[in-house]
Amino acid sequence: MSIESIETLLKQDFTRLTASLEVDGFAERVLKGLEGRRRFRLVIVCLAGGAGALLAGLQFADLFPAIPAALAHLPLGGVSDALSPQLLAATALALSLAATLVVVQSDR
């Protein structure tokens, strides 16, 4: 038997085995499991970021009411009237959640 015929037989065998392995769905099952773990990690990181932002916001409860009072002395044309402490706290929470999502996206 020549080397070319052995190589041809090996190529045919490998092609047949590869085709049978591609049909068993192993790779799809592994990828699906990894995607589930990735989603779970994403939820945990977002919840931790939100809880951290909430705790940080609670630490600054005295700071948020002072910001509109401080802005009242600046010539901003009544912008300080629109800035309630609740709006400032919600903005801080939204910014921290957005930063958490940026960190999570960089993980992908």
Domain coordinates in residue numbering, the chain: 33-107
Among residues 95, 96, 88, the alpha carbon closest in space to that of 70 is found at 88
Q: How many CB atoms lie within 10 A of CB 49?
A: 19
Can you give the pLDDT of all 108 residues of the chain as single tens digits? 677 788 888 888 888 877 766 666 777 788 888 888 888 888 888 788 778 777 777 777 666 677 666 666 666 555 655 666 677 777 877 887 788 778 777 766
Please give the single-letter amino acid code of residue 72. Answer: A
Q: Can you give the pLDDT at residue 23?
A: 65
